[in-house]
Structure 1
Amino acid sequence: MSAVVAALRLARRNAWRSRGRSALIMVMIGLPVLVLTAILTLLETMSLTPQEGLVAQLGAADARLVQAPKGTVLQQQPNGASWSMNGGDDEAAAPELDAAKVAALLGPGTRLLPFSTGTLRLGTGQVDALETDLRDPLTRGMLTLSEGRLPAAGEVAVTPALGLRPGDLLRPSGAAPLRVVGVVEHPHRPSLRKAVGPDLPLTPLFWSPSEYGPGWLADTAKPVSWAEVPALNTAGLYVTSRATILDSPRGLVAFSVVNQQQTVGLGAMVIMVVLETVLLAGPAFAVGLRRRRRELAEIAAQGGSAGHLRTIVLADGVVLGGAATLVATVLGIGAGALGAPLVARWGGQVGPPGVPWAPVLGVAALGLITGLVAALVPAVQAARQNTAAVLAGRAPTVADRPGWPLAGAALVLAGLAATMVARRQGGSAWVLASAVLILFGLVVLTPWLVRCTGGPATRLRLPLRVAVRDAVRHRSRTVSAVAAVMAVTATVVAVGIGTQSEYMDRRNAYTSARPTGMLAIWGGTMTDGTWSKLRAETVRRLPGVPLAVGYQAKDAQGHRYALRYTVRWNGIRTPRTAAIGDQALLRLLQGRHDPQAAAALASGKAVVFDAAAVRDGKLTLRAGSTSGPARKLDVPAVLATPADEHQGGALLPRTLVEQAGFTTAERALYAMYRLPTDSMLERDLAKVTPRVTVASEEGYRNVPDPGLWAWLVGALVLVVGGTLAATRLAAADMRPERATMMAIGAPPGTLRLVVAGQSLYISGLGALVGLAAGTVTGVALSRPLTTHGAGDPATIAIPWPFMIAVVVGLPVLATVAALITRTRLPLAPRLL
């Protein structure tokens, strides 16, 4: 039997004999593998190729045609599509196509089925709707009937997410109730809320070829190829063809070339994950070495070499790491495949189960390597142990290497210097790479830091003094646990500072040209008669709401112009469009009556809310048009205070615009009014003319990333788990001292305090060192995350509750958990 096979057999037997420790090591190594594998499988399963989603999109049809709105210029290419509205008068648009004209475009033998998408307006809101006949064979496979029957005229089927059953009534606003006769399921979107029927009162909101619009499913005599698409686009039809989808590359994902920064960032993240896993699993492997020390000494006494001892301990890493990786990979694939339908119920889509084998196997190899590296230090210690001292029952002595503190300090200094350089580079990859240098340096410095804490321990109370002195004496097990807590804390603190800084920068960067709560209604290119109808409908829909008017600028040829300027807001070049209005609009923009601003506006000056935009009492504007030549204007301006601190923009008086050679026409309405959630104002105004825009200023709506606290949960598991593993090892090593304390009358509380003191020392020292390292990295990380060009200062924000929870809360929690450790020992016989 070879030495390797014998070592593997010994490792298997030892793992089974110490099942609790083996399970802990497997969890430490396997948890990252499981999480990464599950995420990769989940993403693969929830991503659909065009071929996989073909049946849900087209059913049995050869093509789907969506009619574009009047005046739309549409152009499709194999890599996408583009469309735009022309600048003509909406009253002069061409008539819509009918089914006969569309069938003629597709050739003889074509059969069309109406297939229109939109929304149903309900009493409390709206729901997506599909108007088609599901009984037609062309729709086969698009939706699956799970309960009841398919709808006929005056009936409707719904998806399960709507919560309706056959026999219930769906009550669209302004239309007759529809009886629900069936429940249908989408093959890939279980969370879809949709109603389907052959004659629904659809409410079109806006046109989108993949969302809303009238159209048809087509059964054609020959496939619809790309050669026929341009002619159909010219006729105003967006085409989704079975033939073009099947001819596209199947299952291919276009990966961009990985650049240098991406490679560095990915490598840094992999190194940090491996480092933290190794440091966390290190104390558990040290426990195994502590318990097998005599067994290994007996093997050495019978002729085993240092290499044999290293092989035996490394075999523990192979067996436990391999088993953990295998189990974690299988569980991760299962969790990702089974979890995809559950995640899709909250939103998204799900396809057939898929496993990205190349990344998954790479993660599995990383887990196996992690197990080997975690067992490397105990293997080296086993090869160097004094056989005679171990067989005599004496504790091994720990000799510090004098050059290691200098090497660690050099690595830390190099990492700090690299961080100072990396923070001024684009992207965060170089900062992460510098953080790896700092972490490695601190890991090398940890033995020296542990030794330095032994002197001040003399001033502590007895339980803490005994705990600290014992931790310093047994540095081989203490160092790995402290370094693990340090690495976890540093990573979480850096992520917390970077995430909070990015959130605060986004919040500071938010800006608007209108105060929060303002409703704006803009009319595009239209006649005065159409605008009069639109304004009358707005007044009817908003009774009693005071409206301020805004104006549109036109040149002598009738071309519409926008008057714009650019200002730097929070380091970002932000374009503004100046509004044209009177005193009523000024009061809305300022939220009060400002006599000075009102007087300036009355005298023909622009009122500006961006201080950086006014220079020498002038505001520089660029008058631009899609049809006429651009012009540059310098107009007199005064600064004023807006209603909100994040608000910018400018207001121009009509006289100033007309003096510049333009004419003005009323084309905007403003009001301080919040629309209710179920408001259909935009739909009602769109009935007058589609060239209307309704916008409500809601203010900054984003909240801090809740994932930040998920990092705290992960840190909780890692810090408390690693600390308790080291504490159990300390309790085993301190068995003689604790027995002596118990023999001379020490109460159980004192013994618990000694064990808890070990936990507090390990987690507290690791948290303090990790706080320093994480703060440096987090502050450096905030610069590439929050700067947007030269001269833009970085935003640095400290999430204090999160930091306190990590640096103070986790050590306290680990200490409390250690208090429940069993401390009562049987009295050992002693020779007098």
Structure 2
Amino acid sequence: MSAVRVALRLARRGAWRARGRSALIMVMIGLPVLVITALLTLTETMNITPREGLTAELGAADAHISQAPEGTVLSQQGGGANWSTGRDEAAAPRLAATEVAALLGPGTRLIPFNEGVLQLGTKRVDALETDLRDPLTKGTLTLSEGRLPSAREVAVTPALGLRPGDLLRPAGAEPLTVVGVVQHPHRPSLRKVVGPDLPLLRNEFWSPRGYGTGWLADTTKPVTWTDVPALNRAGLYVTSRTMITDSPPSPVRAPALTLRYTVGIATMVIMVALVTVLLAGPAFAVGLRRRRRELAEIAAQGGSAGQLRTIVLADGLILGGAATLVATVLGIGAGTLGAPVTARWGGQTGPPQVPWPPVLAVAALGLLTGLVAALVPALQAARQNTATVLADRTPAAADRRGWPLAGAALILAGLGATVIARRQPDSVWVLASAVPVLLGLVALTPWLVRQTGRPAARLWLPLRISVRDAVRHRSRTASAVAAVMAVTATAVAVGIGTHSEYMDRRNAYTSARPAGMLAIWAGTIDDATWRRLHAEATRLLPGVPLATGYQARNAENRRYALRYTVRWNGIRTRRTAAIGDQALLELLQGRHDPQAAAALANGKAVVFDATALRNGKLTLRAGSTSGPPRTIEVPAVPATPADEHQGGALLPRALVEQAGFSTKESQLYAMHRPPADSTLWRDLAKVTPRVTVASEEGYQNTPDPGLWGWLVGALVLVVGGTLAATRLAAADMRPERATMAAIGAPPRTLRTVVAGQALYISGLGALVGLAAGAVTGVALSRPMTTHGAGDPATIAVPWPFVIAVVVGLPLLATAAALITRTRLPLARRLL
């Protein structure tokens, strides 16, 4: 029998005897494989190709036709479509259904397939106007409850939560009765109402396969790419079964192997493998100590150092292979089953698909990780002293002299690379430069463990025992500390970078109006229409004070906009200065400011961007679409706006008229928030369709919830890795704990000894990880928040998140370790 077969058999038997430790190692190795495999499978399953989505889009029809708005120039190609909605005299007018059928050839039958929205009280819901009873729609939506709708009836998707018999009350139309529930083949989260005659609100913005008028077409001949140009010239966007099925599938091109892409992939692989090896390493080390007598007996009978290494590496092969196999199967299952669940929250799902090349690559990485995690114990097994082991004496732990120096060199090299990488526009270089820093800290960790063990004499007895045991078994402790350090450093770095990016986006937000301000204006209208619009707005907003804004016009009555440029959060921002009086100034400032009011009364501009002023002057560029531009310089004073992120300027009418312009009423402003069901715009549009109603809502974005997802991941890895190392340490300390129990130590003391190990491992790893993560996070903030040369980086620390990672997780791991079983039978001790 070969040595490899013997080693594999011994590894299999050893793994079965120590089932708890084996399961722990398999979890450590298999968890990253499972997560990555599940994500790959989930992404591939939720990616619907045009051929897979053909039935949902066309049903049983030969083609789907969408009509572009009148005046749209459309050009459709195999890779997409280009269109412009400018008023082009050569653009085609809108066509009737009979004209569209004539373009598609004799014998063509069309049914309406119009996309729009329904106004239901205060809410809007997507709607499809078509007759689902027609055979052409078969497959687009599947009936799951009730029946298909006829006139004045609708079917709804399950996400709306309605059932047959319910009523829908569209604004300005008769109620619609729900008679059925239909499901989309790929989009379970779809919220849509379907019926043959719906009071749709058309969306003014058109895009292919978006809102608008459309048809499903049953043609006598296939609609091919040769027919598309003529249809495009008629203003029709077409998707046909032949265009999709006869076209060769788009080749799946792997991303170009650029240096940036290669470095990014290598960084991710190294980080995943490093954390996995560090988490699984202590378990293999403990397994070696439990088997060292067995290995010593093999060595005493003539076993070579290479055979001892093979036996220990076989542990990594068996456990890593089993973990990878199980994790791959579970990952594929989780991704396949998770796709429909995820799609219910948004997105789409198709038939189960597995991207085998990347999945197999991840499985190979998991197997390699198991072998690497067992490599250090295998080298230790080959170097152990047979006589010392057979005499049941614990070999003294010795540090390698060169490791601290190598670690320090890697750290310095990584810090130097970080300084250079933070100047690059891409954050991948900062992440890559963090790898040598982490590797250097891993090499330096045994030295750090030994140095931090020196003050242990001043600690409370249970903690002193814990620290001294951790220092004595540095190979086990250093691996666990390094794992916690790597996880903490990654979480802190990502936290600082992500939060800095969020704060930069928030600081970059700016508006010329304070939150809560309502603005009403119109395009080119005559004075009589403006007076009617003003009167109607006053009637519709009773009791709401309205401030008037004005528009600058030249002698030829051409409209001019007065603008200036300012840098806001490092970005050049162009603002339009408003023209108004004291009432508008109070709205923009949210209060009465005597100094600003006096300046405005004296013919000076009031500016909310202090950096735009030069020697008490504001330079404005007067621009018009139909006249020559002008540059004017006006006296100005700085003032404080109502909101932190508000900018802009207000010019008095007299100042504008002194510059050679006339002024005309053209805007209305009020501090008023219309309710969600407000019909203000629709009512004002009855006066003129050119009216615009805008309500300033302020900054709406919230911090990225994914940051706390990192906290959950760090919780699993830090607490799980710490508890795993603690349980292994508790097993190692069984003789010492048994002796302590024999001389009267209470269970509380024994639990404190075990918890002390958890506190030491997680606390030291968290502190070192905080330092490494802070450096990388600050470096990450520059490429993630700068917008060009001279723009300073935004650095923001999410203190609650950092405290939760660096302080909360070690305390949680310590508290969890307190429940570790401490009652042990007496053990025989050699004196």
Q: TM-score range by the shorter chain?
A: over 0.9
Contact 2:69/2:206, CA 8 A, preserved across alignment: no
Segment drifting more, 69-78 vs 385-394:
69-78
Map of 2:338 onto structure 1: 339
- Deviation of residue 277 (structure 1)? 0.8
- Deviation of residue 510 (structure 1)? 1.4
Map of 1:212 onto structure 2: 211
Map of 1:149 onto structure 2: 147
Contact 1:468/1:761, CA 8 A, preserved across alignment: yes
Segment drifting more, 416-425 vs 21-30:
416-425
Map of 1:100 onto structure 2: 98
Instruction: Measure the CA separation in 2 of the matches of 1:76 and 1:598.
Output: 57
Map of 2:676 onto structure 1: 677
Q: Structure 1, residues 409-440: CA drift from partner, whole Å, max 9, x if none?
A: 11112222222222222221121122111111
Contact 1:204/1:683, CA 8 A, preserved across alignment: no
Instruction: Measure the CA separation in 2 of the matches of 1:625 and 1:271.
Output: 57
Map of 2:114 onto structure 1: 116
- Equivalent AA in structure 1 for residue 165 of structure 2: G
Contact 1:130/1:197, CA 8 A, preserved across alignment: yes
- Deviation of residue 515 (structure 1)? 0.4
- Equivalent AA in structure 1 for residue 109 of structure 2: R
Q: Structure 1, residues 26-62: CA drift from partner, whole Å, max 9, x if none?
A: 1111111111111111111112222222222222333
Segment drifting more, 787-796 vs 659-668:
659-668
Map of 1:195 onto structure 2: 193
- Deviation of residue 155 (structure 1)? 1.1
Q: Structure 1, residues 131-179: CA drift from partner, whole Å, max 9, x if none?
A: 1111122222111111121111111111111222222222222221111
Map of 1:131 onto structure 2: 129
Give the 3-state SS of the residue equivalent to 1:448 in structure 2: helix
Map of 2:50 onto structure 1: 50
Map of 1:22 onto structure 2: 22
- Deviation of residue 214 (structure 1)? 2.4
Instruction: Measure the CA separation in 2 of the matches of 1:220 and 1:520.
Output: 50
- Deviation of residue 608 (structure 1)? 2.1
- Deviation of residue 828 (structure 1)? 3.4
Map of 2:563 onto structure 1: 564
- Equivalent AA in structure 1 for residue 33 of structure 2: V
Segment drifting more, 277-286 vs 13-22:
13-22
Instruction: Measure the CA separation in 2 of the matches of 1:820 and 1:450.
Output: 25
Against the structure 1 CA distance between its residues 96 and 662, is the aligned structure 2 distance closer, same or farther, given a 3 Å change threshold? farther
Give the 3-state SS of the residue equivalent to 1:217 in structure 2: strand
Q: How does 1:173-188 map to 2 (within 5 A)?
A: 173-188=171-186
Segment drifting more, 742-751 vs 443-452:
742-751
Alignment of 1:506 with 2:511, yes or no, is no
Alignment of 1:244 with 2:250, yes or no, is no
Instruction: Measure the CA separation in 2 of the matches of 1:640 and 1:47.
Output: 53
Give the 3-state SS of the residue equivalent to 2:185 in structure 1: coil
- Equivalent AA in structure 1 for residue 772 of structure 2: A
Alignment of 1:712 with 2:711, yes or no, is yes
Map of 2:491 onto structure 1: 492
Against the structure 1 CA distance between its residues 293 and 684, is the aligned structure 2 distance closer, same or farther, given a 3 Å change threshold? farther
Contact 2:73/2:88, CA 8 A, preserved across alignment: no
Count of equivalent residues = 829
- Deviation of residue 481 (structure 1)? 1.2
Alignment of 1:162 with 2:128, yes or no, is no
- Deviation of residue 674 (structure 1)? 1.1
Contact 2:605/2:650, CA 8 A, preserved across alignment: yes
Contact 1:783/1:795, CA 8 A, preserved across alignment: yes
- Deviation of residue 625 (structure 1)? 4.6
- Equivalent AA in structure 2 for residue 318 of structure 1: L
Segment drifting more, 354-363 vs 224-233:
224-233
- Deviation of residue 395 (structure 1)? 0.6
Instruction: Measure the CA separation in 2 of the matches of 1:244 and 1:52.
Output: 14
Segment drifting more, 425-434 vs 27-36:
425-434
Segment drifting more, 55-64 vs 797-806:
55-64
Against the structure 1 CA distance between its residues 87 and 258, is the aligned structure 2 distance closer, same or farther, given a 3 Å change threshold? same
Against the structure 1 CA distance between its residues 237 and 503, is the aligned structure 2 distance closer, same or farther, given a 3 Å change threshold? same
- Deviation of residue 684 (structure 1)? 4.5
Q: Structure 1, residues 480-503: CA drift from partner, whole Å, max 9, x if none?
A: 111111111111111222222222
Q: Which runs of no fewer than 5 residues in structure 1 stay unpaired?
A: none
- Deviation of residue 731 (structure 1)? 2.2
Instruction: Measure the CA separation in 1 of the matches of 2:689 and 2:81.
Output: 22
Q: How does 1:647-686 map to 2 (within 5 A)?
A: 647-657=646-656, 664-686=663-685
Against the structure 1 CA distance between its residues 770 and 526, is the aligned structure 2 distance closer, same or farther, given a 3 Å change threshold? same
Instruction: Measure the CA separation in 2 of the matches of 1:252 and 1:686.
Output: 49
Q: Which runs of no fewer than 5 residues in structure 2 stay unpaired?
A: none
- Deviation of residue 100 (structure 1)? 2.8
Contact 1:341/1:350, CA 8 A, preserved across alignment: yes
- Deviation of residue 531 (structure 1)? 4.8
Segment drifting more, 383-392 vs 349-358:
349-358
Q: What's the TM-score once normalised by structure 2's chain length?
A: 0.94
Map of 1:464 onto structure 2: 463
Instruction: Measure the CA separation in 2 of the matches of 1:831 and 1:241.
Output: 85
Give the 3-state SS of the residue equivalent to 2:178 in structure 1: strand
Give the 3-state SS of the residue equivalent to 2:238 in structure 1: strand
Instruction: Report the RMSD for the aligned CA atoms in angstroms.
Output: 2.6
Contact 1:126/1:678, CA 8 A, preserved across alignment: no
Give the 3-state SS of the residue equivalent to 2:432 in structure 1: helix
Map of 1:396 onto structure 2: 395
Give the 3-state SS of the residue equivalent to 1:671 in structure 2: strand
Q: Structure 1, residues 518-560: CA drift from partner, whole Å, max 9, x if none?
A: 1223323455565555555544543333333334455667765
Contact 1:88/1:525, CA 8 A, preserved across alignment: no
Against the structure 1 CA distance between its residues 788 and 665, is the aligned structure 2 distance closer, same or farther, given a 3 Å change threshold? same
Against the structure 1 CA distance between its residues 831 and 803, is the aligned structure 2 distance closer, same or farther, given a 3 Å change threshold? closer
Instruction: Measure the CA separation in 2 of the matches of 1:143 and 1:317.
Output: 51
Map of 1:65 onto structure 2: 65
Against the structure 1 CA distance between its residues 113 and 621, is the aligned structure 2 distance closer, same or farther, given a 3 Å change threshold? farther
Alignment of 1:31 with 2:70, yes or no, is no
**Percent identical:** 79
Contact 2:72/2:88, CA 8 A, preserved across alignment: no
Map of 1:789 onto structure 2: 788
Segment drifting more, 220-229 vs 789-798:
220-229
Q: Structure 1, residues 627-656: CA drift from partner, whole Å, max 9, x if none?
A: 555544444433222111110112334455
Map of 1:548 onto structure 2: 547
Instruction: Measure the CA separation in 1 of the matches of 2:579 and 2:97.
Output: 45
Instruction: Measure the CA separation in 1 of the matches of 2:220 and 2:549.
Output: 54
Alignment of 1:754 with 2:742, yes or no, is no
Against the structure 1 CA distance between its residues 718 and 342, is the aligned structure 2 distance closer, same or farther, given a 3 Å change threshold? same
Instruction: Measure the CA separation in 2 of the matches of 1:255 and 1:573.
Output: 37
Instruction: Measure the CA separation in 2 of the matches of 1:41 and 1:598.
Output: 64
Segment drifting more, 105-114 vs 127-136:
105-114
- Deviation of residue 18 (structure 1)? 1.4
Contact 2:92/2:235, CA 8 A, preserved across alignment: no
Q: What's the TM-score once normalised by structure 1's chain length?
A: 0.94
Q: Structure 1, residues 72-102: CA drift from partner, whole Å, max 9, x if none?
A: 444444433444444799xxx9975322333
Segment drifting more, 769-778 vs 233-242:
233-242
Against the structure 1 CA distance between its residues 126 and 237, is the aligned structure 2 distance closer, same or farther, given a 3 Å change threshold? same
Instruction: Measure the CA separation in 1 of the matches of 2:253 and 2:552.
Output: 46
Q: Structure 1, residues 332-364: CA drift from partner, whole Å, max 9, x if none?
A: 111111111111111111122222222212211
Segment drifting more, 182-191 vs 421-430:
421-430
Give the 3-state SS of the residue equivalent to 1:615 in structure 2: coil
Q: Structure 1, residues 670-697: CA drift from partner, whole Å, max 9, x if none?
A: 2211122233434444565554433221
Give the 3-state SS of the residue equivalent to 1:119 in structure 2: strand
- Deviation of residue 734 (structure 1)? 2.3
Segment drifting more, 702-711 vs 625-634:
625-634
- Deviation of residue 255 (structure 1)? 5.5
Give the 3-state SS of the residue equivalent to 1:20 in structure 2: helix
Q: How does 1:589-604 map to 2 (within 5 A)?
A: 589-604=588-603
Give the 3-state SS of the residue equivalent to 2:453 in structure 1: coil
Against the structure 1 CA distance between its residues 144 and 532, is the aligned structure 2 distance closer, same or farther, given a 3 Å change threshold? farther
- Equivalent AA in structure 2 for residue 397 of structure 1: A
Map of 1:351 onto structure 2: 350
Map of 1:405 onto structure 2: 404
Alignment of 1:819 with 2:823, yes or no, is no
Q: How does 1:66-81 map to 2 (within 5 A)?
A: 66-81=66-81
Map of 2:618 onto structure 1: 619
Give the 3-state SS of the residue equivalent to 2:565 in structure 1: strand
Contact 2:169/2:175, CA 8 A, preserved across alignment: yes
Map of 1:301 onto structure 2: 300
